[in-house]
Amino acid sequence: MSHTIHGDGAIRRTSLYGSSIENTYGGVLSFMRRNYTRDLSGVDVAVSGIPLDLAVTFRPGARLGPAAVRAASVQLAELKPFPWGFDPFDDLAVIDYGDCWFDAHNPLTIKDSIIEHARTILASGARMLTFGGDHYVTYPLLIAHAEKFGKPLSIIHFDAHCDTWPDDSPDSLNHGTMFYKAVKDGLIDPQTSVQVGLRTWNDDFMGIQRLDAPWVHDNGTEAAIARIKEVVGDNPTYLTFDIDCLDPAFAPGTGTPVPGGLTTAQALKIVRNLGDVNLVGMDVVEVSPPFDQSEITALAAAHIACDLLCLLRNRKVAGTL
């Protein structure tokens, strides 16, 4: 930037790089004050939201998640992120692309709308960081990512739920069946995919490797990090983080909370140590603001998303993005 921008950098900044000085409590609420734009020229990562909660099986409200995560990111835009000690936007060109538009009153068109939204971004060469919305949104995102990067992909899936319950209807909207479909469709390879934090039962986990919440508590985060890297290897990997992976004490604002989950500190440590993973796409989903307390769920989601961007910044600087 040729000069320091004071306020509303999201709509006043002319460069894709650098940060601006903002009043934390004011201004345009893009994610971490990134430029609001649909211009994908030169973009490394496009942040966008998918405000969908028509696929939930219990509590709604995740349609408000993208706005809440953006609002919770204001403090992250003030200082260099901890523990990284750098401004990721000095090196990584990140925009806020806004939200995917879909016709909520015509549900059978929603999947294709999300796929086209993702195709447009991925065709530019940019990576995606997406905010849900309920977890169904990961299924059409995986379709677009598998088209771009080749299938099957590996996934790293943080969740309380395995989301592999049977569902052979191609048109159903269900946030508990996406990975059943993804395995059946050949979008993901279960043997090189891993689920972290599970604490619900399914008779068929579709062969996906599992580090359930008790395993993480008993074996520790270092063992979890090592096992995740061992499972996914160098494969193109999609990371999806359902915020209900966290215990309800740390993430009450979600649709299907389950006791016994990871702490925020455990999750952040694991995510921050995935720098060797070949991440081709990422999402953070299931933040439901009506059930949140003091924004702690949205804050956790925003910090996880920030750390994911820092991982990609390091890969770009190393020439491996």
Mark the binding-site residues for Mn(2+), compressed into ranges: 135, 159, 161, 163, 242, 244
Give the Cβ contact number of residue 282 at 10 Å.
25
Give, for 68, the enclosing helix (H) or strand (E).
helix 65-72
What the block records as the tokens of 24 is 């934390």
Strands 45-50 and 94-99: parallel
Contact predicate 137/285, CB 8 Å: yes
**How many CB atoms are closer than 10 A to CB 154?**
24
**Helices and strands: H and E segment counts in the chain:** 9, 9
3-state helix, strand, coil in the chain (%, to 5): 40, 15, 45
Residues of the binding site: 135, 159, 161, 163, 242, 244
Q: For the stretch 19-48, what's the b/e string if a residue is b when 16 or more beta carbons lie within 10 angstroms of its beta carbon?
A: bbebeeeebbbbbbbbbbbeebeebbbbbb
247 φ/ψ angles, rounded to the nearest 5 degrees: -60, 145
Q: Which residues pair with 242 in a beta bridge?
A: 285
Nearest partner of 31 among 82, 3, 65, judged by Cα: 65
Q: Is the preceding peptide bond at 290 cis, omega within 30 degrees of 0?
A: no
What gap in Å lies between CA 94 and CA 128, rounded to an integer? 10
Structure tokens given for 86? 């750098």
